[in-house]
Amino acid sequence: MTDVIDELHRRGLIAQSTDEAALREHLATGPVAYYAGFDPTAPSLHVGHLLQFMVLRALQRAGHQPVVLVGGATGLIGDPRPSSERQLNDRDTVAGWVERIRDQVAPFLDVPAETEGLRGPVYVNNLDWTAPVSAIDFLRDIGKHFRVSQMLAKEAVSARLNSEAGISYTEFSYQILQANDFRELHRRHGVTLQTGGSDQWGNLTAGIDLVRRTEGAKVHALSTPLVTKSDGTKFGKSEGGAVWLDPALTSPYAFFQFWLNADDADARAWLPLYSERPAEEVEALIAESVERPAARTAQRALAEELTLLVHGPDQLAQAEAAGRALFGREDLASLDAATLTAALQEAGSITVDGDLPTVAQLLQQTGLVASLSEARRTVKEGGAYLNNERVTDGDVVPGEDAWLPGGWLVLRRGRRAIAGVRRGV
């Protein structure tokens, strides 16, 4: 078997692991069943989850057996956050999200039946073994193996205990539920390795301890690092909120732009984590990014590779075409209405009703310029564009033939300042 630990270290994907020498030996003995869990606390996963898929996919390529847990039980409880109690969602909502996330995971790990050496994932829902357990059995058979002092040491729990919000017993018990998942998966599927984020380390080790106490078996865990942005803001957030993997919540264009617009330092730090290219190719891309930052080599590599992985080749092509078209390098009419709409909503847009304003007025109303006089000056200097055509008269009103698919006009000031105008109903 491939020594996948070296690859994970090379890419910076291991923050912590249990007895690494023993884990290496265990992985070398043959196919190992390993798992990661995803709680349905929202209708979609987001880019923060991608790091787990990088680990799952690397282990799968090395010949091991992925088991994907979507937490129909733990999703009803919610892992404690450092700041405040989670809002509990109703059972039907969580059940619907379980199915959505299960379908969302499939493209990352499903492999054709004829693929040699790769094992397709096993999908499980922890509600299947958690729901039948009575409260008495839960406390007697599982709860007795946990020490409150160790549970209190978890960072999120201790932070909540020292806050005005406090913590409910419901969220406090989450660690026991996740630990029991490891035990059940060890029993049912022979799972011997759990992966998760570094903020889950206490839960991961609790599972290891429970398996040892109840099954007398040695199992393993490894965690991924916390990904941050160089400016201190939270990774995975854009101006519109979380960057979701569901195209209905974050369009493929907006997803592509999230990576393309990354800070230089962030892109160089993220490329080894998220790219499955060979090491020498990643190093060359980072070196080129340092030498020619204006080319945004690292950002474009991330945007292309991850959009292809998450949304497929057709949506990648549309996202790239949208960027080229908006900035005058391709015909805007080549874009479909959905892609153009997503791109202009991301760039910023206004809706106009009634009589259509002049181009100069639209430049002001969209915020591309501060005043009408500035708009007219921009037109005079040759810096105003309507649908990628240079505007020579700021007082002209766009005609009916100017409207693009979806009922849009595209205004541009200079090379990169874009805004959309949509016709009202």
* φ/ψ of residue 422, rounded to 5: -115, 140
Give yes or no: residues 348 and 406 share one domain. yes
Asked which of 209, 224, 239 is the last residue of a domain, the reply is: 224
Element (H, E) at 257: helix 252-260
From residue 383, alpha-carbon distances to 46, 306, 348, 389 in Å are 38, 34, 19, 10
Give yes or no: residues 245 and 204 share one domain. no
125 has which bridge partners?
Answer: 70
Give yes or no: residues 201 and 233 share one domain. no
Asked which of 175, 206, 224 is the last residue of a domain, the reply is: 224
Element (H, E) at 6: helix 4-10
Report d(CA 274, CA 257) in Å as an integer. 16
Look up residue 412 and give its two tokens. Answer: 């541009």
Domain count, the chain: 3
Report d(CA 171, CA 163) in Å as an integer. 15
According to the model, what pLDDT value does residue 219 have?
97
Report if residue 327 sits inside a domain.
no
SS (H, E, C) 295-312: HCHHHHHHHHHHHHHHHC
Q: Which residue has the tokens 């949208």?
A: 322
Report if residue 96 sits inside a domain.
yes
SS3 145: helix
In the chain (425 residues long), the average pLDDT of successive 10-residue segments reads 85 96 93 96 94 96 95 89 81 95 90 74 96 94 89 78 80 92 97 95 94 96 93 74 90 91 95 96 97 94 96 91 78 81 84 90 93 93 91 91 88 87 83
SS3 368: coil
CA 240 from centroid of its chain's CA atoms: 14
* φ/ψ of residue 223, rounded to 5: -125, 155
Asked which of 279, 311, 343 is the last residue of a domain, the reply is: 311
Element (H, E) at 184: helix 174-189
Report if residue 106 sits inside a domain.
yes
Look up residue 356 and give its two tokens. Answer: 């259509």
* φ/ψ of residue 251, rounded to 5: -65, 155
- Those residues whose C-beta lies under 8 Å from the C-beta of residue 344, and which sit 6 or more positions away, are 408, 410, 418, 419, 420, 422
According to the model, what pLDDT value does residue 113 have?
61
Question: pTM for the complete prediction?
Answer: 0.86
CATH number of the CATH domain containing 407: 3.10.290.10
- Those residues whose C-beta lies under 8 Å from the C-beta of residue 108, and which sit 6 or more positions away, are 53, 56, 57, 309
> CA 135, 140, 142, 148: dihedral to nearest 10 degrees?
100
CATH number of the CATH domain containing 41: 3.40.50.620
Give yes or no: residues 233 and 114 share one domain. no
Amino acid letter, residue 188: R
Element (H, E) at 144: none
Give yes or no: residues 254 and 361 share one domain. no
Q: Which of 3, 29, 13 is nearest to 218 (CA)?
A: 29
CATH number of the CATH domain containing 267: 1.10.240.10
The boundaries of the domain holding residue 92 are 4-224
The secondary structure of residue 138, as a DSSP letter, is: I
According to the model, what pLDDT value does residue 1 have?
41
Look up residue 256 and give its two tokens. Answer: 């592509």
Give yes or no: residues 41 and 137 share one domain. yes
Report if residue 323 sits inside a domain.
no
Give yes or no: residues 260 and 287 share one domain. yes
Give yes or no: residues 144 and 266 share one domain. no
* φ/ψ of residue 267, rounded to 5: -60, -40
Report if residue 319 sits inside a domain.
no
Residue 253 class from Cβ within 10 Å (0-12 exposed, 13-18 middle, 19+ buried)? Answer: buried
Q: Which of 11, 4, 6 is nearest to 272 (CA)?
A: 11
Are 97 and 148 a contacting pair, CB within 8 Å?
Answer: no
Give yes or no: residues 214 and 341 share one domain. no
Look up residue 127 and give its two tokens. Answer: 């509600």
Report if residue 158 sits inside a domain.
yes
Report d(CA 298, CA 273) in Å as an integer. 12
Give yes or no: residues 34 and 77 share one domain. yes
Give yes or no: residues 265 and 135 share one domain. no
pLDDT per residue as tens digits for the range 146-173: 888 888 777 778 777 877 778 888 888 8
Give yes or no: residues 302 and 287 share one domain. yes
According to the model, what pLDDT value does residue 165 have?
74
Look up residue 413 and give its two tokens. Answer: 């000031």
Are 183 and 215 a contacting pair, CB within 8 Å?
Answer: yes
Report if residue 123 sits inside a domain.
yes
Report d(CA 217, CA 35) in Å as an integer. 17
Report d(CA 268, CA 320) in Å as an integer. 21
Q: Which residue has the tokens 């800070």?
A: 263
Report if residue 287 sits inside a domain.
yes
